[in-house]
Amino acid sequence: MQVALGCQILVLVIMFSRWSNSHNQENDSLQHESKVKELRAALGPLSGRSLKYCTDACLRRYLEARNWNVDKSKKMLEETLKWRSTYKPEEICWHEVTVEGETGKVYRANFHDRHGRTVLILRPGRQNTTSLDNQLRHLVYLIENAILNLPEGQEQMAWLIDFTGWTLSTSVPIKSAHDTISILQNHYPERLAMAFLYNPPRIFEAFWKIVKYFLDAKTFQKVKFVYPKNKDSVELMRSYFDEENLPTEFGGKAMLEYNHEEFSKQMIQDDIKSANLWGFDDKLQSVGNGHSGPEIATEPVCLAPLAS
C-alpha cells in the first residue's frame, strides 16, 4: 500500500511538472519569431487539419516546450500530428464519452479565471467507470473542448482538482496514469497554466516540497495546494478567481452543482462548433437529407445516438 501511494503521488507530480515544462528564457522575441519561421520551414508543406493545427502560436508552444530547439520541437510536433491523425481527438463526440461524465468527475466550468483561461474541474473522487481507454478519451475530449473555448489571445487553461472523497481505490492504475501523462505532456505542451489541488492528502504537499528541488521555479509555481477553511488558501484562490464564480468548495461563493443534462446541451453545441472549425461538418452533412439548412444538417452523426 505504501509503495502504491508513493507511486501515485510521483505520477501526479511528474504529470504536472512535465506537462508544463517551460523555462523562463531571456526575452528575445525577435529571435523567437525567427525560430518559428525556421520550424515552419523545417516542417515542410502541410495540408488539411495539420495545417490548421500548426498555427504560429502552436509552433511557439512546441518550441517553448523544447527550449527553442528547432529540431527537437519539430520531432515533438510531428509526433503530435501523427497521434492526431490516428486518435482524432477533434472528432470525439460528446455522445461517445457522455457516460464518463455522468458523475461530473471532469467538466468545463462555466467561468474563466481572472486571466480569461478556461477552467476544467476535476473530481477524481467521483470516478465510477472502469474502461481506461474511455476515461482517457473523455479527458482528451474535455481538453480539446477547453481549448475550443479559449478567448482570443489566451492559450492556456487552469485545472481545479477537488480531491474530496478521493481514496486509493478511486485512483487510476499506474499504466493508465502513464498513458494519460504521455498524451498530456507530448501532445498538449504549454496548455496548463495552473493546477489547484483542493483538499489533497497532506502527504502530496510534503512530497511536492521535496520534488521542488528537481523542478524549475516556473513549473513549481504552477501547482498550488488549497485547503478548506484555510485563510491563505482563500486569499490565493481569490487572487486567481472571481469569488462570485468560484464554487464554495474552492473558497468562493458559487454553488457547485453539476447538471449532466445542461452540460450535455452545451457540449452538443460545441461539437457542432468543433466540426465547423476542423472542417468535417460536410462529412456530417452527407448523412443528413441534404435539403435542410446547414444548422440542422450538421447534427446527425454526432448527435443521433443521444436523441434515442
Ligand X SMILES: *[C@@H]1O[C@H](CO)[C@@H](O)[C@H](O)[C@H]1NC(C)=O
102 near ligand X, judged by CB under 6 A: yes
CB 232 within 8 A of CB 241: no
- The residue (of 50 and 134) whose beta carbon lies closer to ligand X is 134
- Rounded-to-integer distance, Cα 279 and Cα 22, Å: 32
CB of 57 to ligand X, least distance (A): 15
Is residue 248 a contact residue for ligand X (CB under 6 A)? no
Q: Using the rule CB under 6 A, is 34 a contact of ligand X?
A: no
For 45, list phi and psi in degrees, rounded to 5: -65, 135
Question: Which residue(s) pair with 209 in the sheet?
Answer: none
Between 100 and 270, whose beta carbon lies closer to ligand X?
A: 100
Q: Total binding residues for ligand X by CB under 6 A?
A: 6
Contact 301, 259 (CB under 8 A): no
Q: Which is nearer to ligand X, 103 or 154 (CB)?
A: 103
Asked if 155 interacts with ligand X (CB under 6 A), we say: no
Burial class (CB in 10 A: 0-12, 13-18, 19+), 161: buried
Q: How far apart are CA 105 and CA 102, in angstroms?
A: 8
67 in contact with ligand X (CB under 6 A): no
Bridge partners of 254, per DSSP, are 247
Q: 22, 69, 103, 154: which one contacts ligand X (CB under 6 A)?
A: 103
Q: Does 128 bind ligand X (CB under 6 A)?
A: yes
User: Applying CB under 6 A, does 129 fall inside the site for ligand X?
Assistant: yes
Q: Which residues bind ligand X (CB under 6 A)?
A: 27, 29, 102-103, 128-129
